[in-house]
Amino acid sequence: MVLLIMISVFILLMICVSAFFSRFVKTGEDFYLGGRRMPWWVLGPTIAAGLFGGTSMLVVAGNAMTDGLSAIWILAIPSWIGAFVSAIFFARKVRSLPGVASLPDLIELRYDKVSRNVFMIVTVLFYIAFTTSQLLAIGKFVFGFSGISVITGMGIALIVVLIYATVSGFLGVVITDTIMAAILFVGLVILAFSSLSWGNGWSNISETITSTTPDFFNLFSTSIHPLLAIVYVAAFGLALVPQQDIFQRYASAKDEKNALFGGLFALVIFIPLYILPMIAGISGKVWLPLQTSETVPVDQFVAWTAKNMFSPFLSAFLFVAIVAAIMSTLSTTINSGALNITKDVYQQYVNKNASPKQVITISRLATILMGLLAFIFATTFDVILDALYLAFNVAFAGMFVPVIGAFYWKRATARGATWSALAGTIFVLFDFILLKVGKPIPWPDSAYGLVTAFLLSLAAFVIGSLTSVRPTDEKTKYFFKQKSSNDSVEIDE
């Protein structure tokens, strides 16, 4: 009964907040960028909540319990690095670009229409895979907590998210993200410190573990060695750089300063968000075997703990906190994917002169479509990390190099960007399909296949750029400082 009441209050709150802010949505820019009026203290929580989903919590806590401190390389350290690089090197630049709401907008501004179309496809693929990982996370968590089937759990969560995401768009997502970030943080604090208490304090936990597993607190382990850690930094860290949902938030800032501070604030929030589930997982290594003789799957550790180790009230609160974490990312990924369908398909090819009302209507339909596509894909995956890894591989191999080049290599061209995006993405998808059907691959396995994909993407980018005409000043003027007439040097003959 307590759980039912708390879930009902949470869902009602999310819907009411979205309904309230829907009155501020008058144009497509309002729906996807919140009218470009977001302050840094709102951007920080929504970036953090949007990226740190339930996937992160479940994966980090579960793997910390099995792999120890080295699990920090799976998502935590990569995310900190990625958030820092994104904020310092891209926040101001993205906000300064005129008329940019989506990643394909940026690509067309710097390269050309063909590149835009390629990036639209790659970006939609990324967000379908990313949304799939969040649906899997919430389905598995609900199953572990309540016994409701994974499919049913995914369906219920998707319906709730679609209701509030379609009503008020980006503004509603930002406000609900901020609320959910606060709920999530409180829940993580309760989970981590309770787990420490059950293990009789950190001293006892570390002594007990090291007596049986001496290398448990090593930064690297047999399962996560330095080379694999580098791969994780690339896949889960540097892949944050070209993510449209982050650029979308930078573009929504009031100004360049708020964009930068919002990105840095997100990094500050990220640090405890990843440390707390690490503490809970490591502590669980000691106390979980004393509480149950059954084998608790890695991705079910948090659900089992929330269900069995707390009073009904705290158990219900933790359920809501974890669901909130997943739903915040779910709404972010759906909203960002819908942005591509609306701006890059409907407004580019179907109705270039669409009225603000038509754009909002199509945006809401695109939001529903993104959710349904991800739901279909989610039924084909079993492991949360597999879906997440596929998504971030697409982002890193298909988008990272052209986006970096757009801002930091003036010689980069549309041909290079197109070749790079196609080479990286096609390799990642081909590698994924071969592994999925159990066929042997003629290159290193999935993790190291990302290195191959990146090298292909980089080579294609450089070769394509150097074999095509140098871009005009018109194409680079928003990305690089142009020489003024005063900079020229006159030579007397």
Query: Tens digit of pLDDT for each residue in 283-315?
Result: 999 999 999 988 888 878 998 999 999 999 999
**What pLDDT shows up at residue 273?**
92
Number of domain units in the chain: 1
Q: Would 479 be classed as within a structural domain?
A: no
**pLDDT the model gives residue 336:** 82
What per-residue confidence (pLDDT) applies to 491? 39
According to the model, what pLDDT value does residue 34 have?
Answer: 63
Structure tokens that stand for 77 in this block? 């350290």
Domain membership of residue 293 as a residue range: 2-392
Query: Nearest 5°: phi and psi at 253?
Result: -65, 155
- C-alpha 301/C-alpha 69 separation (Å) is 17
The per-residue pLDDT for 488 is 43
Angle, CA 337 vertex, CA 333 and CA 341 arms, to 5°: 165
Residue 282 lies in a domain: yes
List of E strands, 222-326: none
Within 10 A of 218 (CB to CB), how many other CB atoms are there? 13
Domain of 275, CATH number, reads 1.20.1730.10
pLDDT computed for residue 483 by the predictor: 61
Q: Are 327 and 161 in contact (CB under 8 A)?
A: yes
In a domain, 403, yes or no: no
Instruction: Report yes or no on 434 lying in a domain.
Output: no
Identify the DSSP state of 38: B
For residue 85, is it within any domain? yes
**52: its two tokens:** 């740190």
Q: The tokens of 353 are what?
A: 């002169």
CA distance 301 to 308: 11
* CA 409 to chain CA centroid, nearest Å: 26
Please state, in angstroms and rounded to a whole number, the distance separating the CA atoms of residues 83 and 115.
Answer: 26
For residue 487, what pLDDT is reported? 47
Predicted TM-score (pTM) of this structure: 0.84
**Residue 14 within any structural domain of the chain:** yes
For residue 33, tell me if it sits in a domain.
Answer: yes
pLDDT on residue 490: 41
- Which parts of the chain have pLDDT scores under 50? 485, 487-493
Q: Please report whether residue 358 resides in a domain.
A: yes
Which has the closest alpha carbon to 386: 433, 451, 331?
Answer: 433
Cβ(157)–Cβ(138) under 8 Å?
A: yes
Max CA separation in the chain (angstroms): 91
Q: Residue 492 phi/psi, 5° resolution?
A: -75, 130
Residue 253, strand partner residues: 38
482: three-class secondary structure by DSSP: coil
